[in-house]
Chain A
Amino acid sequence: MSSSPVRPDLSPPLSRLHEWVVTVDHKRLGVMYIVTGLVFFLIGGFEAAMMRWQLAWPGLDIVMPEDFNRLFTMHGTTMVFLVGMPILLGSANYLVPLMIGTRDMAFPRLNAFGFWLFFFGGALLYFSYFGAQGLYGMGSAPDVGWFAYAPLTERTFSRGHSTDYWILGLMVSGFGSIATGINLVTTILCMRCTGMRLMKMPLFVWIMLVDAILIVVAMPPLAAAQVMLLFDRSLGAHFFDVQAGGSAVLWQNLFWFFGHPEVYILILPAFAFVSEIIPVFSRKVLFGYPLMVAATVTIGFISMGVWVHHMFAIGLSPAVNTLFMASTMLIGVPTGIKMFNWVATMFGGRIRLHTPMLFSIGFLAQFLFGGLTGVMLAVVPFDWQVSDSYFVVGHFHYVLFGGLIFSIFAAIYYWFPKVSGRMLSEALGKWQFWLLLIGFNLTFGPMHVSGMLGMPRRIYTYQLDRGWEIWNLLSSIGVLFQALAIAFFIWNVIRSLQRGTPAGDDPWDAWTLEWSTTSPPPAWNFDTDPEVRSRRPLWDAKHPDDPDWKYE
């Protein structure tokens, strides 16, 4: 799949590197996004493991308190901006053009530009470990939490350059996300193959469309807020300076006006993955496609109007809190519709429990659990009780780890054969699944209890007599299982790339267009332009006696 100029004057390793660096092929950029995201996943996971080691028992001093602050800041920032975002953008990049039967994204060079902005934004953020000392000789990695609340981020309290690295690193990678978001929307609305009306698109593409629109409208407010913070820190402006009439609450509003759409930007791709995987492994058409589309669009709209539920505990008026409590509960309705539709898709199907399906079922159960604790947290008085406690940490890890990361592994096991031409090992995959399932629940389940018992998040140690010891110890033991699971995954990928069973074009007997081309696909994707008459064009091709277009 060589779409980039080969430089014959370079030696083989260098010329391959050159090919990847200058590529504008959506498939290569997709792979680069995902691989970079997985590398950051290992880094963010290492940071989490350090924190769990420190918290395993009261009074440990594995890391210094100030290092602990940096660990949780970098862990959160990394997982959201440098793991979730690139993996979702990368998979959309790789799969959307294939699924809509076109050759590449609408703007291939903009696509490469977006990736490199993300890449260097991430590098800039991590360079803070070395560069943030600046002339002051103080500061290291950012230590202000992933949502960087003012006035802690102001020059007065955050000396050195750590917060500036947080601002600039995320702003650079954010511009990359906006560019790729624009590219995705344009690709989906302008590049569909013959016959593919909007309502014939795979649900994956629909969800990525809504997701990309959310990126385009939610990232700019963050950039604006970060610009104001940067001006406060560098030019002496007073946006978040309370003594000069500024408002710290304004930062919270601006951040969460981005931040809540952002968590839907992260979880919608999970919905997209399982909406493709569950039907194929249940041997049934996705249940309620039009309703799934409607629910996706509804989630997109409501997600722009729930941000204050992150701020229930700061003392806004009861009217505001009630309004946002209602809108937060409202978003459970379209999400619930999706849950029921996935289960209804499985109901009565001939379910094949391959690794992608196992991870999808893990997603369903754990995302449901995280969603339900989310509804609990939407209730203002309950939120007051557990706000900023480990209950909240448990809640959003069930959504983002139990939901998003499990669905990402489902997607990797499902599409790896298409990308590499080789199957991942089922045996190693099942080992990974069960170890990760046990490790995940062992780590994050007990956090709900320690949170209810009053353990605040972001503390670097705690006293012996609080009754939190056993729950923290369980959480930390879970990390060992998770680390083992990830080791199985890495071993599986390395081994399968070399010795995996050749996959063929369509190893899962699937129905969407990406499986109609070779594995890996050629640079031009399709030898002939596909023609589509139903939502399952490959089913139509394989079953000309009973095609889907007769029923849709």
Chain B
Amino acid sequence: MSALPAHDMPPLARTGNLPRGKLGVLLLILSEVFFFGTLIAVYVFYIGHHTGGPTPKDVFDAPLSGPTWQPLAVSFNSVFLLVSSLWIVLAHRALCRGATTAFGFWWLATFACGSVFLAGTANEWHGLIMDDGLWMGTNLFGSCYYTLVGFHALHVTAGLTIMAIVFVLTLAGKMHQRHAGKIELLSWYWHFVDAVWIVVFTIVYVIGWWGAA
């Protein structure tokens, strides 16, 4: 573009361009942080504001909701979700090595643990709706609870759907070492879903249960 001989011009600066797939997923997660941040802020703001029962104490305390203390059952489910984050790391590492069979194994483990968590949520909701009579419209607590936990479950479902697709591709022999980068991006999303659950659990089952006395 220039008439000057090349040696007279200063060297071209390094642009410092970032990898676009990673940045794209990080930005998606950033927008999700603000989405969940809003739901969580609203939940915290409304702790104890409900008029009329059932209250968090009513539904989470034994023996109203069955033989176990609800948060204990939820903690049990949570372990599956947290552990699945570990399996997905192992799956990614296996794919980096090109060990597609090991990848398939850990991937199935991730999917299975995520599914157990989702089934746990379904079971919990069944109990709350059928035994405790709590739904969106019952009181403000119900509105907040189902919205926050429901949107988290929706994100788990989305993750599981993508995982199922990847698993089918693995069985078809279409997952290879070169896809490790994309699997890493998927694992970031899964870690994010995990991290959100830690906050949601603390807010809903610890602070919300304790603060709404």
Contacts and interface: CB of A to CB of B under 8 A. Distances in A.
Interface of A: 106-107, 178, 181-183, 185-187, 189-198, 200, 216-221, 223-225, 227-228, 231-232, 235-239, 241, 243-247, 250, 254, 257, 516, 530-533, 537, 540-541, 544, 547, 549
B12 A195 contact: yes
A244 B20 contact: no
Contact of A231 (B3, B49, B143): B143
Given A196-B13, A216-B30, 4 more contacts: A182-B31, A241-B140, A540-B2, A547-B2
Contact of A106 (B24, B46, B50): B24
Contacts of A540: 1-2
Given A197-B14, A236-B136, A216 B27 contact: yes
B131 to A, nearest CB: 20
Interface in B121-163: 136-137, 139-140, 142-144, 146-147, 151
A341 B1 CA distance: 30
Interface string B38-60: 11001001100111100000000
A192 B17 contact: yes
B50 A244 contact: yes
Nearest to B27: A182
Contacts of B13: 195-197, 200, 533
Contacts of B140: 238-239, 241, 244-246
A113 to B, nearest CB: 13
What 3 A-B pairs are tightest by C-beta distance, nearest first? A236-B137, A237-B143, A220-B35
Given A197-B13, A238-B140, A549-B10, A250 B45 contact: yes
B172 interface: no
B19 interface: yes
A193 B12 CA distance: 10
A107 B27 CA distance: 13
A544 B147 CA distance: 62
Contacts of A219: 31
A235 B24 CA distance: 34
B51 A244 contact: yes
Contacts of B42: 224, 228, 239, 250, 254
Contact of B18 (A178, A189, A223, A250): A189
Interface of B: 1-4, 9-10, 12-20, 23-24, 27-28, 30-32, 34-35, 37-39, 42, 45-46, 49-52, 136-137, 139-140, 142-144, 146-147, 151
Contact of A186 (B23, B137, B146): B23
Contacts of A241: 140
A187 B140 CA distance: 43
Contacts of B136: 231, 235-237
Contacts of A533: 9-10, 12-13
A84 B151 CA distance: 30
B15 A195 contact: yes
A532 B13 CA distance: 8
B143 A239 contact: yes
A245 B46 contact: yes
Contacts of A192: 15, 17
10 contacts: A181-B31, A192-B17, A194-B15, A200-B13, A217-B34, A220-B32, A221-B37, A228-B42, A237-B143, A237-B147
Given A541-B2, A544-B2, A217 B24 contact: no
B2 A238 contact: no
Contacts of A231: 136, 143, 147
A64 to B, nearest CB: 34
Contacts of A238: 137, 139-140, 143
Given A225-B38, A244-B50, A190 B143 contact: no
Contact of B35 (A198, A224, A235): A224
B17 A189 contact: yes
A516 B1 contact: yes
A193 B16 CA distance: 10
Contacts of B143: 228, 231-232, 237-239, 246
A239 B42 CA distance: 9
Given A186-B23, A244-B51, A531-B12, A237 B137 contact: yes
Contacts of B27: 181-182, 185-186, 216
B139 A227 contact: no
Contacts of A220: 31-32, 34-35, 38
A185 B10 contact: no
B7 to A, nearest CB: 14
A547 B8 CA distance: 11
B119 to A, nearest CB: 23
B81 to A, nearest CB: 22
A241 B27 CA distance: 34
Contacts of A189: 17-18, 23
Contact of B20 (A190, A246, A549): A190
B1 A182 contact: no
A220 B37 CA distance: 9
A104 to B, nearest CB: 12
